[in-house]
Structure 1
C-alpha cells in the first residue's frame, strides 16, 4: 500500500534571472512606450485642432511660380456677321417663294410683291418716253427740212449773183463801147451789189438756223434722257418687287404670311450669311472700361479653343452689362449655328514670373486675405495678400511661398477655425 507520493517527488531548482513572463511583459511595455513617444506629438497636434474634416471633401492646390494672365470669362452667342432683313419696296400683296430654314444662294428669288400701282406707273412713264423720243425724231426731221430750205435759198442766190456779175461785166463793156446809157449801167452795178448782200445775209441766216435747230434738238434729247431716267427708276422699282437673296445663306425667319398685304417698308423676311460668324458677348459694367477694340480673346467651342479679337464695344449699358462683338482671328470652326452659346475669355493683362495658385471659392469667402496652409495633416489659417485675379488663377503677393499647399475649397464650413485636422 502506497501512502503518498513523497518518495517519488523530485526537487526542481528555480532558474536564476528574470522569468519568461517578465520578459514578455517588459518587452510589451517597451513597445508601448515607443509607440507613445511616436504618437504623442501627433496626438497632441490633433488635439490642438479646432475642427476636423475629411480630405475627400476638400480641394487642394500648390503654390507655383510662372506667368499669370488676367482675364475674365463671359458667355456669348454666335451671330451672323451679316444678317440682312428684306423689306417690301412698295405696298402690295406678297407671294413667298421660300420657307424659314431654307438654304438660299446669292441672287435667288425669295418673294414677289404684286403692286398694280407701280406697274401702271411704269407703263405711263414708258409711254411718255416713247412720246419724247418721237418728238425728238420729229425735231430732227424738221431741222433737216429747214436746213435744206436755207441751202436752197443760198444756192439760188449764188446763181443770181453769178448772173448779176456777168451782167455787170457786159454793162462795163457796153459803156466803154458807148452802147448803153448811165442809167442801165448803174442798174447793173446795183443788181450785183444787192444780190451779193442778200447772199451774205442768207448765209448768216442759215448759220443761225443751224444753231437754233441744234439747240432744239439738244433740248429734245435732254427731255428724252430725263424721261429715260424716270422710266429706268420706275423699272428698277418694279424689278425690286422681286426680293432676291444678297448672300449665300439661310432664311432665318418669315415676318409675314403667304398672300399678306403689306405696306411700303414693312419687313418681309431675314437672311443669315453662313460664311461669316461673330460672337456677341455681354461684359459686366465693371470690366467694360478695360476692354477696348483689338483686345485679345479666346473662344471655346466644342471642347476646342480659337483665337479671337474684340471688334467693338457698345457705348450703352443695359442691365449693368455692356454688349460687345468678338470676331474669329482665323478661320472659324465648322458647324457653327445662329444663337449657339459659347464661352469666351477676354485677356486683360499678362504678368510674368509671379507666385500663383489655382483660383477657388476660398478667394471669395476670405476676401483674398487668408488661406489654410497644409502642415502635415493640419491646415493652419494664415494671412495672405493677393494681387491680379484671373479666371483660373490668383497672384500671391505675400504670405505664401512656392511649394506651399493650401485649401482652395469654400472656407465657410470652418467658421474661422485657426487649425483644422484633415483626415486622409
Structure 2
C-alpha cells in the first residue's frame, strides 16, 4: 500500500514566524547602532588628525614621580697615577740593568749610558779648574808681596819725615844761639818738606794699589768659582748617565734594545708606581660638563666594590668623549693590575620626589621643548620643559603631570603635525 506525505506535513503558524523575524531585525538594528556609536568617535578622530602612525613604530612611557639619580656608568681601566718615563740625558751606548716586569726601588740604577765625549769634556774642565785655582792662589801671593813693598816704602817715608823734623828742630835751636847760619835752617826745612811729600805719596800708593790688588784677587776667584760650577754641572751630567728609578715600582716597558746607541732625550724605560693606582674612564661629552673633581664614585671588579672620588678631568674632547680619573678612597687594593678592566659609576646628583619620564630620542629631536601626549588613540603635541637627565631618565619641569603617557621615540615620523592618530 502506498503511503502519502501526511506524516511529514507540519502545521505552520503564520503569526509566530513573523514575530520571530521582527525580534531578529530589532536585535540587528541595536547591534548596528551600538557599533556606529563606538566607531563614529574613532572615525571622527581619524578625520581630525593631521596624520596617522602605527603604534608598532613608536615607544611609549608614563610620567612618574619618585627618586631621581643622575649617574655615569662606564667601563674603566686601571692606570698608574705615577708612571714616569725615563730619557737619555746624553747621547751614547746604553746598557740596561733591568727588564720589563722587574720590581725596582727608588734611586736604583736601571740603565747606564756610556758617553766618551762627556767624560773627556769633564776631564778638560777639571784641568781648567785646577789652572784657575793656581791663578787665584798666585794672585793672592803677588798681592801680599806688593802690599809688603808698599808698606815698606810708606814706613821708610815716615822715618825720613821724623828725622827731618828732628834735624829742623836741632838747627833752629842752634841758630837761635848763633851756632849755625840761617842757610842750614832753610836746608833742614826743605829736607822736611820733601819727606812730607814722600809720606803723602807713599800713603796714597798704599791705599790705591791695595784696592787694585783686592779687585784682581776677586776677579781670579770669580773665574775659579765659575770653573768649579762648570765642573760640578758636568759631574752631575756624568752622574745622570746612571739612569735611576724615581719611585718604588715596577719596570713597565723598555723602549730600546740592549746596548743600543741612542741620541740625547731618547726614551729608555717606563716605571710604574703600583702603590698609587687610579681608574680611567671615558665619559660622553654631554655628561662631562657636569663632572667635577671630588665627586663620589663606585669602582667594582673581582667581586668587590671600592669607593672612589674623581681626581682628574681631561680638558679636551677626543671622539666625543672626555677622559676622567678616579682615585681609591683609602689604600689602593693590592690585587689590581695595570690596564685591568673595572666597572665605574660616578654619582652626579640624587633627589627625591622628582617628576621624571624614561629617556628617549624625543629629548634630542625636540631639544626638550615639546612631547606628544597619548590619550584615546591620539598623540597631541604639548610644550614642555625638561631639566637634568640621567642615562635612563629625564626630569620634567613643566608641561606634563604624573600619569601622562608620551611618545619617547619614533616621533620623528610625525613631522610638524600637532595631532597624530595612533593606529594599532
**Same fold, judged at TM 0.5 (above):** yes
Distance apart, 1:352 and its partner CA: 1.3
User: How far apart in 1 are the matches of 2:173 and 2:220?
Assistant: 56
Cα-Cα RMSD: 3.1
Change in Cα spacing, 1:214 to 1:164, as seen in structure 2 (3 Å) is same
Change in Cα spacing, 1:227 to 1:144, as seen in structure 2 (3 Å) is same
Distance apart, 1:205 and its partner CA: 0.7
Change in Cα spacing, 1:389 to 1:152, as seen in structure 2 (3 Å) is closer
Distance apart, 1:417 and its partner CA: 11
User: How far apart in 2 are the matches of 1:103 and 1:417?
Assistant: 69
User: How far apart in 2 are the matches of 1:226 and 1:272?
Assistant: 39
Matches within 5 A, 1:105-144: 105-144=105-144
- Is 1:180 the counterpart of 2:171? The answer is no
- Is 1:87 the counterpart of 2:91? The answer is no
- Is 1:72 the counterpart of 2:76? The answer is no
Residue in structure 1 matched with residue 170 of structure 2 by the alignment = 170
Distance apart, 1:304 and its partner CA: 2.6
SS in 1 for 2:184: helix
Matching residue within 393, 397, 402 for 1:398: 402
Matches within 5 A, 1:375-394: none
Distance apart, 1:293 and its partner CA: 2.5
SS in 2 for 1:107: coil
Matches within 5 A, 1:41-56: none
SS in 1 for 2:265: coil
SS in 2 for 1:112: strand
Residue in structure 2 matched with residue 280 of structure 1 by the alignment = 280
Q: In 1, are the aligned partners of 2:73 and 2:344 still within 8 Å (CA)? A: yes
Residue in structure 2 matched with residue 270 of structure 1 by the alignment = 270
Change in Cα spacing, 1:260 to 1:172, as seen in structure 2 (3 Å) is same
Distance apart, 1:157 and its partner CA: 1.6
Change in Cα spacing, 1:389 to 1:176, as seen in structure 2 (3 Å) is closer
Q: In 1, are the aligned partners of 2:275 and 2:332 still within 8 Å (CA)? A: no
Distance apart, 1:133 and its partner CA: 0.6
Please, what TM-score do these two structures have when normalized by structure 1? 0.70
SS in 2 for 1:184: helix
User: How far apart in 2 are the matches of 1:391 and 1:249?
Assistant: 38
SS in 2 for 1:318: coil
SS in 2 for 1:257: coil
Residue in structure 1 matched with residue 306 of structure 2 by the alignment = 306
Distance apart, 1:94 and its partner CA: 0.3
Distance apart, 1:391 and its partner CA: 6.0
SS in 1 for 2:336: coil
Change in Cα spacing, 1:185 to 1:74, as seen in structure 2 (3 Å) is same
User: How far apart in 2 are the matches of 1:331 and 1:204?
Assistant: 77
User: How far apart in 2 are the matches of 1:103 and 1:225?
Assistant: 42
Which of 179-188 and 115-124 deviates more? 179-188
Matches within 5 A, 1:184-195: 184-195=184-195
Unaligned 5+ segments in structure 1 are 1-62, 371-380, 401-415, 419-424
Distance apart, 1:389 and its partner CA: 6.5
Distance apart, 1:366 and its partner CA: 11
Q: In 1, are the aligned partners of 2:65 and 2:402 still within 8 Å (CA)? A: no
Q: In 1, are the aligned partners of 2:154 and 2:202 still within 8 Å (CA)? A: yes
User: How far apart in 2 are the matches of 1:164 and 1:342?
Assistant: 105
User: How far apart in 1 are the matches of 2:394 and 2:237?
Assistant: 62
The aligned length equals: 326
Distance apart, 1:394 and its partner CA: 8.7
Distance apart, 1:164 and its partner CA: 1.4
Q: 1:321-373 CA distances to partner (integer Å, 9 max, x unpaired)?
A: 2212222233322222111111111212211145899x9xxx77999x99xxx
Matches within 5 A, 1:31-46: none
Residue in structure 2 matched with residue 291 of structure 1 by the alignment = 291
Structure 1: which 4+ aligned runs deviate by more than 4 Å?
A: 63-66, 354-357, 363-367, 385-397
Q: 1:296-318 CA distances to partner (integer Å, 9 max, x unpaired)?
A: 32222322322222223223222
Q: In 1, are the aligned partners of 2:64 and 2:402 still within 8 Å (CA)? A: no
Q: 1:228-255 CA distances to partner (integer Å, 9 max, x unpaired)?
A: 1111111111111110010011100111
Change in Cα spacing, 1:417 to 1:98, as seen in structure 2 (3 Å) is farther
User: How far apart in 1 are the matches of 2:220 and 2:282?
Assistant: 62
